[in-house]
Structure 1
Amino acid sequence: MAEYHLTTPLTDNDILQLRAGDVVFLNGIIYTARDAAHKKLMALLDRGEELPFELEGCVIYYVGPSPAPEGRPIGAAGPTTSYRMDSFAPRLHALGQKASIGKGKRSPAVKAALQENKAVYFGATGGAGALLSECIVAAEVIAFDELGPEAVRRLTVKDFPVLVINDSFGGDLYAQPDLSAVGLDK
């Protein structure tokens, strides 16, 4: 398992070097979107309208952050369970999204989309939202403000720590037998 420092937007070359189990520190811009925002993004696509951010090379973080305390750009920002976005993810990956960040397993359709589109699924540590927020240096709502915590945000991150769960070669960290002994396969 290797360690990488990557800057968004991600490229095919960035993705093709990664394997399940690798540690990645992300820098640059990532976007937030949970299930309510994904439904609105799909509606925009269905109508042929532009999305509020460029999909090519982007990273979407499945998070609904808490309000920002005074002097901070964002509150706790821990990952939400990813399977709620599984029905939307293959379409977004086909349109250029290179990675998502969340927690939990992904569906066979998402894993296939990762392989077909040279993309990855990153896991972030659940329960560590306050610590993860320390790596977010700026946050701005860019769409769907009416969704509150689930609005789409543009986050500027510095050394945001993630783990490659599913790589673009079919590797699945949760399927590795040594993880079941410590409960990481759930």
Structure 2
Amino acid sequence: MEVRLTTPLRKEDVENLRPGDNVLISGTIYAARDAAHKKLMERLDRGEELPFDIQGAVIYYVGPTPTREGEVIGSAGPTTSLRMDAYTPRLLDLGLMGMIGKGKRNDEVKRKMTEHGAVYFAAIGGAGALIKKRILSQETIAYEELGPEAIRKLEVKDFPVTVIIDSKGKDLYEIGRDEYLNWKREER
């Protein structure tokens, strides 16, 4: 099933999504990797506000390559989401509704996602040159000193992702593995 979503996301926008659903996201998403996430936690520890509105936000785990002349952004493929797992539960508690990356998430992240009705999407690894075509504009909004890992505000149109973990905690990686193991048992 293909679904179109516009940010910021609300629980009712994502509650019917299921693992394997293809989604096209339009609106604002934020690019941030592990170094930026660490700085966000330090900011929160000091009692400061985040540099963007986290309510209903989607964070894309990406550190784009340098932008060539005449282009909006460099190649923008996803990075491994596990690197953000230490920071994600706190952001989910504050209202984060979606994350885009690649790879598995830990049990604490999945528990918090279920508690808050959030969703984890995957972008296609190795397709950064194609993905960047869905990014209409970018603006560095925090931690410019981090270079490619700075927090960026990205305006996107029909940004293609797949639901990996839905708001109820169902995980495509586990579902797919279980189906494969059942198929292998039946073959014997």
TM-score, normalised via structure 2 length = 0.93
Aligned pairs for 1:1-186 (under 5 A) are 2-177=1-176
**For residues 103-127 of structure 1, what are the alpha-carbon distances to aligned partners after superposition, in whole Å with 9 as ceiling and x for unaligned?**
0000001110110011000000000
Range 65-74 or range 54-63, more displaced: 65-74
By how many angstroms is 1:70 displaced?
A: 1.4
- In 2, the alpha carbon distance for the partners of 1:105 and 1:140 equals 29
By how many angstroms is 1:155 displaced?
A: 0.2
Residue 184 (structure 1) aligns with: none
TM-score, normalised via structure 1 length = 0.94
- In 1, the alpha carbon distance for the partners of 2:177 and 2:98 equals 25
Where is the helix percentage greater, Structure 1 or Structure 2?
A: 2
Aligned pairs, how many? 180
By how many angstroms is 1:160 displaced?
A: 0.2
Structure 2 unpaired stretches of 5+:
181-188
Structure 1 unpaired stretches of 5+:
182-186
**For residues 153-177 of structure 1, what are the alpha-carbon distances to aligned partners after superposition, in whole Å with 9 as ceiling and x for unaligned?**
0000000000000011111000123
Cα 1:26–1:43, aligned 2, differ >3 Å: closer, same or farther? same
- In 2, the alpha carbon distance for the partners of 1:83 and 1:178 equals 19
Specify the code of the residue in structure 2 equivalent to 1:6: L
Specify the code of the residue in structure 2 equivalent to 1:107: N
Residue 183 (structure 2) aligns with: none
Cα 1:109–1:178, aligned 2, differ >3 Å: closer, same or farther? closer
Could you say which structure has the larger radius of gyration?
2
Specify the code of the residue in structure 1 equivalent to 2:47: G
- In 1, the alpha carbon distance for the partners of 2:47 and 2:179 equals 44
- In 1, the alpha carbon distance for the partners of 2:103 and 2:158 equals 22
SS of 1:134's partner is: helix
Cα 1:124–1:179, aligned 2, differ >3 Å: closer, same or farther? farther
- In 1, the alpha carbon distance for the partners of 2:79 and 2:95 equals 22
